[in-house]
Every structure is written in C-alpha cells, then in structure tokens.
Chains A and B, each alone.
Chain A
Amino acid sequence: MDYSHPLFLAALLLYIVSAGLYHVPVLVGSVRGVRLARGAALTGFALHTIGIIDRSIILGHAPYVELREAVATIAWTVVLLTLLVEWRRKTSALGALALPMAVVMMFMADTLPVFGRAHPLIPSIYQNPLKAHIGAIVAAFGGFALAFCAAILYLVQERRLKEKRVVASQPGTLGLMEIEEIANSLAAFGFSMLSLGLLLGMIWASRGLWHGAWLAEPIVLATIATWCIYAAYLYLRGVRGSRGRSNMYYLIAGFSLAAITVLIIRVVLPGQHGF
C-alpha cells in the first residue's frame, strides 16, 4: 500500500515550514514569526486531518492499523496537542520542539525502509476492541512525545537560568514551573490512555483470540515497562509532591523507551503482536 497521499505531503511541508518559523524567536529573540508558525501548523494539521479522513473512508478502516500509519497518526496527535496547549496557555514555547518532532515522525512514517515493508494485515485487526486498543496507545504516545518535548524545554530553560544566560522574556514565554505543569498534564493524559490501551489489549487477548502467551511478547513487556516508568513518575509527583529537575528524567526515559519499543523491538524481535 502506498502511503503517500498528496494531503499528507502538503501537511509535512507545512509542518517543516512551521518548525522553522517556530525557531525564529529562539534564534532572533523576538516574537516575530510565531503567528506565521502557528498558522502553518494549523493549516498543515487541517490538511493532515482531511487526509486521514479521506484515507480511512477509502480503505474502510481506522488510520492506524499499519505501523507506519500509526506513527503518522502519532505525529497528528502531537500537533493536535501542541496546538491545544498553546491555545490554552497562550504560549508559543512548545512548537519549536514539538513541530520538528512531528516532522521526524511523518518522515519516518513515509520514507524509512523499515516501515516501508508491507505487513500482512492480520484479519483480527479490524475488530473493534483492537481498534480501540491501538487508538488509545497512539494517543498515549502522542502525549508522551509532547511531555518529552516539555521536559527537554524545562531542562534547557533550567540550565539557562542556572548559568545566568537568561534572555528577556517575550509575550508567550513560560516560567519553568508552568512548563513543569504542562509536562505533567501531558504525562498524565498519556498514562491514562496507555492504561486504557493496555487494558483493552489484555481483555482482547484473554478472550482466547490470541494464540500463545501474550505476556511474553517483547513489545508487550516493553510497553508495560514504559507504563511503570510513568506510574513511578506520577506517584512521586502526585503523592510524594516531588518537583524539579529529576522528575523530568522520568518523562525523557519514558518516551525514549516508548520510541525504542516502536523502532527497535518491533523490527529486531518481531513477535506475533501486530506491531
């Protein structure tokens, strides 16, 4: 199945433009360009959405039954969440990291040979519980990806403040603690989606539709490990009241593991699991 769809290509180009424009304030130190960056992201997102709907109608299934489709849909989720956060928080701080990430994901979904290999679709993929299972995990990964961006932003700004290399703030600049809050709500969103996704997967597998020990699948184990990292983070922050830099390492580790799960384990240790 050929993945390239003219609307996806247009969305990718707009995301690239937007990613570049989001860096204008970072480089020049002024808010010029931010509006254009957001406009490009929004237009790209709209085209991407239409593309996804169009494709789903043509193919007659959800836009993530294949791994590369799922990666592209994670990119779509990242852009959606970025736009939502930036609108709610009246800020433009996240785009500079989130849009490049979306671009990388779109690119991988479209070009990397690993993803280019056609997977024979197992018929069960069309069953509803499984669709919901993948959908929830795709949303979770989107949340984790953006939480990862926020954590990186936190560490960069923390370093700048620590080393006294501060730049005058502009409208839309976030305080360190505000970045931390955003990262936290994204991680919490991702965690609840991942929990839901895992639960649905387990229900589906335990109904006897799965042949063999599903828990022994590398991808399942890795995903449960990811879940544990975020669970630990949420416990420390929510129950123990922990704040600050060390929390951010959990968010970085969590998303890194999630990315490794998708990129490496899936390829190196292919199991019975769809992807």
Chain B
Amino acid sequence: MHLVIVGLSHHTAPVGVREVVAFAPGQIRDALRDLRAIPGVQEVAVLSTCNRTEAYALCDSPDPSPISTYLCRGHESPRDHLYSYVDEGAPAHLFRVASGADSMVLGEGQVLGQVREAGRLAVEESAAGPVIRRLFDQAMVCGRRARNETEIARGAVSVSHMAVELARQIFGNLKDKNVLLLGAGETAELTARLMAKYGVSLITVANRTFERAEALAEALGGRAVRYDEFPERMVKADIVVSSTAAPHAIIHQDVARLALAQRRGKPMFLIDLAMPRDIEPSVGDLDNVFLYNLDDLQVLVSRNLDDRRTELTAVDAIIEEETEAFMRWLGRLRTVPVMTELQRRFDAIRTAELQRTERRLEGLSPEQRDAVDQMTHAMVKKMLHEPWRYLKSAGSDAQAAATLQAIVDVFDLEDAFRDSGSPFPGEGEPDAADQAPAARNLSHGL
C-alpha cells in the first residue's frame, strides 16, 4: 500500500502547461470519481489551484504512471513537467504545500484554505478514506503550526498590504481616518479597498475625468470630488494615495506645507504610486509627513520576503516532525488488523481445543465450566499482550514494519489479507472512533 502524489506547479511548469492539467472547480468531483476508478487506486484527493494541480492517491503499487496518464488527459506536453512523490515523500510534500513553503509568495495564507477545501471535497465524494483524510487533517495542523510557530507568514508582501501596514504603524487604528485617492491607478484602488476593509471612515476620490472618479468612489463606498479641489481636500486627508498619469509632480512642497499648517502637525501619510512620481520628494522632508513612493514600498516588501525565506529551516523542522508523526500513525494503522487477525486465530485454537476436551469435562458444574472458559481466554490475552505492547511502542517505522511482517510470516496470516484484498479491514483502526461512517464503509468495501 503506497501513498503516491503526481502533479505539477509553478516550479516545474509554465502557465501554458498548467492550464492543460488544471481542473476547473466544477470538474474536481468528476476527476475524483475517474481517479478512484483506476484499478489499484484505493483513495484519492485532488488539489487544484492556479499555481498547482496535484493528485493524492493511496495505491496498491508505488508506480505513479496510471495517475500521470490520467492527469495528462491525452496531451503529451505536461508529461515532462510532472513530478511525483511516493510513500514518505508524499506527506512531506503536502505538508510543505500547506505551510506555504512551496508557494510562489512564500508563506501566503490562501493555500491552507485550498488544502482544507481539497480534503473536504474528497471526503464528500467518498474518494478519501481514513488515510487521505488523516493526511489532509494533518496538513492543516502542519500549516497552522508553521504560521504560528515561525515567522514565515509575517510582514506584508505586497505593495498594497505594505501601505496599509505603514498606515497602521502611523495611525494605529484606521477607523476614523480619511483617505484621499488622487488618480485611479490599479494598485491605488487595491490599496484603498484594503483600507476600506480596515474601516477607514471616508474615501474621497479625485480624478482628471470626473466620471471615472465617480465610478471608483461608488465601488469603494466613497465620495468623488473635482480634481482641482484636491489641495483643499488634503487638509482633511490623513492618508493620500496618489497614482495619476500626470507627467510631472502635482503635489509640491508649498501645497503640502499649506495643508500641514492647517492640520496643526497631525501626521500625514503620503503614498506615491505614480510613475513618474506625483509628489515632490522634498515634501517628505516636512515635519509630520511620511512620504513613501512605489520603490520604497517595493524595497520593504522584498525585505519581508527575504525575512520569510530565512524562516524556511524552522518550517522544514515542523514539516519533518509532522511527517514522522503521520508515518507513525500509518504504521499503527497496519498493526491493528494484523493483531486482530492474530487474536482471531488464537481464539479459534482455544475454542477448538475446548470443544475437543468437551467429553472429559462433563463432570464439571456450569460454574466450573465457566471458570475454565475464562481461564483459557485470559491465557490468550496474556500471551498476546507483550507483542501488542512491543508493536505499539516500536521505534522506527522500518523496525515496526519488519516486526509486523515477521508476525505475518511466522503465524502465516498472509492468507487472511489476500482473501479480503485489503490490509485495512476497517475494524479496529487506531482512530476508528473519529472517522466518519462513510469513510469506514469505504475501506470495508475495498
């Protein structure tokens, strides 16, 4: 029984190839059904985001080619871009993805939600059994730990988030702050939207074409004003986001000085996202003015990204820990059915022997008979106790697996599993209690 991952991501494939393999949200359920129908595939899940498409499967063989073939869907081009991870490599990879360590923007938070969604969908479609379920649950744990225990998700990593972060460092709470939007650049709009989310009290939009200003103001829940009014509007504005297409600076030092004098030293945050710049650099020399242009913001963003990169070692340690924990769980998952089978055999021997001695026990009273029955039962239990304990506490996976195999060989249990066709008979799984009936039935049916 092997865990197999096949997929591609922005690391290995250009967007032209990624879109061939990607599943639209509506197609994932079909994909799950198709993959489950592949002979030898027991459980599956599909993770499809704009940067990656990956199939997670529990298969009889470690050969990833049937899944690769399905993902290519008749195209030849993706084949060279696909990667695969088998057994222990599989959880390690998913945990890395969930931690954001494999993302285009290191530590981004969206992927965690996408992993949760992929797991949920697979369970809903009854494509995921206990193993894939557990795999995705633990990926969520790992992703959260990476974000809480390391600083991989710390600091703003986009220009608009950086602008908001700075605004918060200047004003603290943005709730009663006024924003003035000069021009209607895309990043400026994004920044204003974000600030609206943080609850700024008013967004005023001034643009050369008034209609554009009105449209944007409406979209942002703000107010449009005539473009030439902006110098007066600056008095009330705590934050000015400028992104006009003007060929030269529009906010000169004297304009800013005038506004500041009326603001009586109340700080002002000026964000110049225009190219060429809208705000004269000397404005930044004025007291209580904080002027940041596009370059300044980008430098801060790239520094934050560098900081996140240095956290990768710490994240890797968490991934390793979680992978080990998962593999241990998987090992135990195999232990239970073997031990159950062994107990069944011992019990069969006990019952058979009791029946054989039936005649010689005739003189016993029912109470005495009961005592004999209980005594033999206890014998079986005690004989099995030590091996059970040993397997539970077995150190490495390899050691546990070897011991388990030895037990299977010594007591000739192989037949039992060959008959049922599954090493996971379902009954007595370590965490059976927390698994949904659907998932349990699924593994019964295998």
Closest B-chain residue to A161, C-beta based? Answer: B290
Query: 1/0 per residue A152-195: CB within 8 Å of B?
Result: 00000100011010101100011111100000000000000000
Within 8 A of A (CB), among B268-282: none
Q: Is the CB of A244 within 8 A of B172?
A: no
A240 to B266 Cα, complex, angstroms: 12
Expressed in whole angstroms, the minimum distance between the Cβ of B290 and any Cβ of chain A is 5
Expressed in whole angstroms, the minimum distance between the Cβ of A32 and any Cβ of chain B is 10
Query: 1/0 per residue B150-183: CB within 8 Å of A?
Result: 0100111000000001101111110000000000
User: Which of A30, A157, A246 is close to B287, meaning CB atoms less than 8 Å apart?
Assistant: A246
Closest A-chain residue to B151, C-beta based? Answer: A30
Expressed in whole angstroms, the minimum distance between the Cβ of A251 and any Cβ of chain B is 14
A162 to B285 Cα, complex, angstroms: 9
Contacts of B284 in A (CB 8 A): 162
Expressed in whole angstroms, the minimum distance between the Cβ of A41 and any Cβ of chain B is 23
Specify the main secondary structure of chain A where it touches its partner.
loop
Q: Is the CB of B265 within 8 A of A177?
A: no
A220 to B290 Cα, complex, angstroms: 42
Contacts of A168 in B (CB 8 A): 154-156, 165, 304, 307
Q: Is the CB of B265 within 8 A of A164?
A: no
Q: Is the CB of A164 within 8 A of B171?
A: no
Interface assignment of A5: CB less than 8 Å from any CB of chain B: no
Q: Is the CB of B307 within 8 A of A243?
A: no
A175/B296 contact (C-beta < 8 A), A243-B264, A245-B287 known: no
Within 8 A of A (CB), among B238-278: 263-267
Query: 1/0 per residue A221-257: CB within 8 Å of B?
Result: 0000000000000000000111111110000000000
Interface assignment of B292: CB less than 8 Å from any CB of chain A: yes
Contacts of B169 in A (CB 8 A): 157, 161, 166, 169, 173, 175-176
Expressed in whole angstroms, the minimum distance between the Cβ of B392 and any Cβ of chain A is 36
Q: Is the CB of B155 within 8 A of A177?
A: no
User: Which of B151, B265, B292 is close to A245, meaning CB atoms less than 8 Å apart?
Assistant: B265
Contacts of A30 in B (CB 8 A): 151
Interface residue range, chain A: 20 to 34
Contacts of B156 in A (CB 8 A): 168
User: Which of B154, B170, B266, B288 is close to A175, meaning CB atoms less than 8 Å apart?
Assistant: B170
Closest B-chain residue to A178, C-beta based? Answer: B172
A35 to B300 Cα, complex, angstroms: 28
A99 to B346 Cα, complex, angstroms: 71
Contacts of B292 in A (CB 8 A): 164
Q: Is the CB of B288 within 8 A of A177?
A: no
Q: Is the CB of B288 within 8 A of A244?
A: yes
A166 to B164 Cα, complex, angstroms: 13
User: Which of B154, B173, B300, B307 is close to A166, meaning CB atoms less than 8 Å apart?
Assistant: B300
Q: Is the CB of A176 within 8 A of B165?
A: no
User: Which of B264, B267, B296 is close to A164, meaning CB atoms less than 8 Å apart?
Assistant: B296
Q: Is the CB of A242 within 8 A of B171?
A: no
Expressed in whole angstroms, the minimum distance between the Cβ of A91 and any Cβ of chain B is 10
Q: Is the CB of A176 within 8 A of B296?
A: no
Q: Is the CB of B290 within 8 A of A162?
A: yes
Contacts of A246 in B (CB 8 A): 265, 287
Query: 1/0 per residue A33-72: CB within 8 Å of B?
Result: 0000000000000000000000000000000000000000
Contacts of A157 in B (CB 8 A): 169
A178 to B267 Cα, complex, angstroms: 12
Q: Is the CB of A169 within 8 A of B168?
A: yes
A175 to B154 Cα, complex, angstroms: 18
A241 to B264 Cα, complex, angstroms: 7
Q: Is the CB of A243 within 8 A of B265?
A: yes
Expressed in whole angstroms, the minimum distance between the Cβ of B239 and any Cβ of chain A is 12
Contacts of A242 in B (CB 8 A): 264-265
Expressed in whole angstroms, the minimum distance between the Cβ of A154 and any Cβ of chain B is 10
User: Which of A166, A240, A241, A243 is close to B267, meaning CB atoms less than 8 Å apart?
Assistant: A243
A241 to B173 Cα, complex, angstroms: 19
Closest B-chain residue to A164, C-beta based? Answer: B296
Q: Is the CB of A177 within 8 A of B165?
A: no
**Which 5 A-B residue pairings sit nearest by Cβ, starting from the closest?**
A175-B172, A244-B265, A168-B155, A178-B172, A244-B288
- 21 A-B interface contacts by CB (under 8 A): A30-B151, A157-B169, A161-B169, A164-B299, A166-B166, A168-B154, A168-B156, A168-B304, A169-B168, A169-B169, A173-B169, A175-B173, A176-B171, A176-B172, A177-B267, A178-B173, A240-B264, A243-B265, A243-B266, A246-B265, A247-B265
Residues of B within 8 A of A (CB): 151, 154-156, 165-166, 168-173, 263-267, 284, 287-288, 290, 292, 296, 299-300, 304, 307
Given contacts A161-B169, A164-B299, A178-B172, 13 further A-B contacts (CB under 8 A): A162-B284, A166-B169, A166-B300, A168-B165, A173-B169, A175-B169, A176-B169, A176-B267, A242-B264, A244-B287, A245-B265, A245-B288, A246-B265
